[in-house]
Structure 1
Amino acid sequence: MAGQQRVYRQRIRSTQSLKKIFRAMELIAASRIGKARDRVSAASPYARAITRAVSAVASHTDIDHPLTTERPDAKRVAVLMVTSDRGMAGAYSASVIREGERLIEQLTSEGKEVVLYVAGRRAVSYFTFRHREITGQWTGSSDSPSVETAEEIAQTLLQAFLADPADGGVGELHVVYTEFVNMVTQTPRVIRMLPLEVVEGVADDTHEALPLYDFEPSPEVVLDALLPRYISSRIYAVLLQAAASELAARQRAMHTATENAEDLIRTYTRLANQARQAEITQEISEIVSGADALASAS
């Protein structure tokens, strides 16, 4: 009985240590989620403005730009997966990877070769363990992405898209990430970013006549300047959405883990008390039995 009681006490101490870790990570995530949400909100006006600008050029010109033209001759397709660098965020990274695997399976069934780009150590570990080639990877700032990282990712993907198919160029770019809806809901999403499909900021519910546009010096030059900025802003918005989703998922997961640790501590405490009571009962029984044996001998 004494050995069983020691086991329960040891489990209580270890669970209490884990509870402190879970609680600390929950508080850290809670302190960062506000800033992450503010960054998502702050980036939205610029994203909407540049989307409207690109929409205007794409909708009011008939030019064939490399970033807006389908490339049926290119069988290689780039897929960017955005996951977290650290765990303890529930099913956050697993949901993105699962959605990415569905996309890869679909593209492969269409006869396309998938080129993997990943952001976040969880995806790097997943594909490295399965001996699958990763063309580009970015780690270290999943919960606090920087503009420099977004521009580096966008530049790498643009170079791959603009390259000739004979030199390893890709014909499409798909991004798999998690959209931050609110503190409770974060939804994995798959978007095709290239060739460009401008669908945001086009709808107009005012039913007013659309303005006429005059491009200076030319629509080609305007698109050359706007589209790389547009891709960079979209990548940055994706990273910000993923960061906010990661922190929200981690806060929720750590809150649940803290509650589970408290339940375990209560359970182990009850079992330890029961073991202690059983030990005391056994000792009393042994004392009474010994006294009866002495009385009978005399």
Structure 2
Amino acid sequence: MAVSLREYRARIRSVESTKKITRAMELIAASRIIKAQQRAQAAAPYARELTRAVSAVATFSNVDHPLTKEEDNPTRAAVLVVTSDRGLAGAYSSSVLKEAERLAERLRAEGKAVDWYITGRKGVAYFKFRNRDVVNSWTGFSDQPDYEVAAEIGKTLIDSFLLSPGEPGDVDEVHVVYTRFKSMLVQEPTAVRLLPLEVVEGEEAPGDAELLPLYEFEPSAEAVLDGLLPQYVQSRIFFAFLQAAASELAARQKAMKSATDNAEELIKKFTRIANQARQAGITQEISEIVGGVNALADANSASD
């Protein structure tokens, strides 16, 4: 019984150490998520104004840009999957990977091959374990996205989209799969088509009392689109990274809180079992002492 008691006490110490780690990770995630939310909120006005600028050019000019051109028979699509570099975030990475697989199934059903572009070590490990080809991958920035990396990824995807049909690496569509941050409790895996561009704003006709704005493009509408559209794509990718970073930290905080609560329950359980074992050991020792005293008394009585 003493050996069993020592085992339970060792388990309690082990779980207490784990609890300290998970509690520390929960607090770190909670402190970082505020900054991640602020970065996402700060980037939203820029993305919104850039969208309006692109809408103005696309709506009030008759320019057919390569980034807005729809292929008659698209045969290949690029999918950018945004995962995390670290684990201990619950089902964060697995959820976005499942959404990417569902998107790939839909694209294949439409007769399109899929080229994978991955960010985050979890996504890279997922595809490597399954021996699946990845065109390009980027790691090391999932919890703190950098615009330079987003610009590099955007340029890579745009270059693939602009390749002539039949060239190695040519794609007809570009999609991004990331996790949208809705609240501390809700993070939603989302698939969005980036290219060819679909500008939503500016499509509704103005009312009777609303005046049509006048736009003048310098040096030309083509030059404006050449400068704006790549920035538009890169800003959307960067905004997706910021949303994914906030979602990752929220998922990690939730997972670590759940782990801490489970550790507390295990400590209570092992403490209760250890106390029962200790009481059983004391009871057995008392029974042995009483039995020994009775046996000694019987021996003395027999000798008399």
Q: TM-score, normalised by structure 2?
A: 0.94
Q: Report the CA distance shift for 1:94/1:201 in structure 2 as closer, same or farther (over 3 A).
A: farther
CA distance in 2, matches of 1:210, 1:179: 35
CA distance in 1, matches of 2:93, 2:204: 33
The structure having more radius of gyration, on CA atoms, is 2
CA distance in 2, matches of 1:261, 1:94: 24
Work out whether 1:234 is the aligned partner of 2:239. no
1:146-200 deviation digits (Å, cap 9, x = unpaired): 1111111101111111112311200001110011112222111110010001125
Gaps of 5+ in 2: none
Aligned to 1:172: 173
Share of identical aligned residues, percent?
Answer: 61
Deviation at 1:111, TM superposition (A): 1.6
Which 10-residue stretch deviates more, 4-13 or 170-179?
4-13
Q: 1:252 aligns with which of 254, 257, 271?
A: 254
Deviation at 1:296, TM superposition (A): 2.3
CA distance in 2, matches of 1:200, 1:80: 24
1:51-99 deviation digits (Å, cap 9, x = unpaired): 0011111122232211001123441110001011111111111110111
CA distance in 1, matches of 2:105, 2:238: 26
Work out whether 1:100 is the aligned partner of 2:100. yes
Aligned to 2:129: 129
The count of corresponding residues between Structure 1 and Structure 2 is 298
Contact 2:59–2:203 under 8 Å retained in 1: no
CA distance in 2, matches of 1:213, 1:280: 91
Q: Please tell me the residue identity of whatever aligns with 1:42.
A: A
Superposition misfits of 4+ residues, deviation over 3 angstroms: 200-207
Contact 1:80–1:118 under 8 Å retained in 2: yes
CA distance in 2, matches of 1:96, 1:202: 31
Aligned to 2:142: 142
Work out whether 1:188 is the aligned partner of 2:189. yes
Aligned to 2:295: 293
Q: CA RMSD in A?
A: 1.7
Q: Please tell me the residue identity of whatever aligns with 1:241.
A: Q
CA distance in 2, matches of 1:160, 1:228: 13
Contact 1:74–1:171 under 8 Å retained in 2: yes
Gaps of 5+ in 1: none
CA distance in 1, matches of 2:214, 2:190: 35
Q: Report the CA distance shift for 1:252/1:205 in structure 2 as closer, same or farther (over 3 A).
A: farther
